[in-house]
Amino acid sequence: METEQLSKESDRFRHQAESLAEEISTLRVAKEKLSIQLEEREKNFLSLQQQHEKLVTAVDSNTKSSAEIRDERDELMKKMQEKIIETEELRHARDGLAKSEKIRDKQVKELQEDNIKLAEQLRESRHEVCVLCMWESLINILVVR
């Protein structure tokens, strides 16, 4: 009975470890996607900066009216601020995923350690059952004689 329970607990821990491993894999993929998005946002930000510099140059050369340049500059600044906010949100999300991944790794390690302990208990229980069976057989042999 105890051996069955230990076996079931071992299976349950193994299932939990596999589930956590899958979750970690999913978190790693999500983290990678967020990293790629972050790089894209940073490239977009640099592109917007370059556009801003071009507009500043245009102001210096008076190719457009001051009002048009100001409107375009304000629009670019607004877009840059949005990109900065998006970039910060992505960084925050990526950091959160990294923390979750560390927590999941720790949980998997703990479950694996628990599984090893349960396996050891199972081996000990099986050994005890074998010894008891041997004694029972010897007793039955002696009783029959």
Token pair belonging to 86: 């998006």
Can you give the pTM of this predicted structure? Answer: 0.44
At 27, give phi and psi (nearest 5°): -65, -40
What is the span of the domain harbouring residue 53?
2-144
At 104, which CATH number?
1.10.287.1490
Q: Tell whether the model's pLDDT for residue 16 goes beyond 80.
A: yes
What mean pLDDT comes out for the span 105-126? 90
55-93 pLDDT per residue, tens: 788 767 765 577 777 888 899 999 999 999 999 998 998
Structurally, how many domains does the chain consist of? 1
Contacts 24+ apart (CB under 8 A), 109-113: 111/13, 111/16, 111/17, 111/20, 112/17
Cβ atoms of 74 and 1 closer than 8 Å: no
Under DSSP, the state recorded for 62 is T
Give the up-direction half-sphere exposure of residue 126: CA atoms within 13 A in the CB hemisphere.
9
**Please, is 91 exposed, middle or buried when counting C-beta atoms within 10 Å of its C-beta (0-12, 13-18, 19+)?**
middle
Q: Tell whether the model's pLDDT for residue 99 goes beyond 80.
A: yes
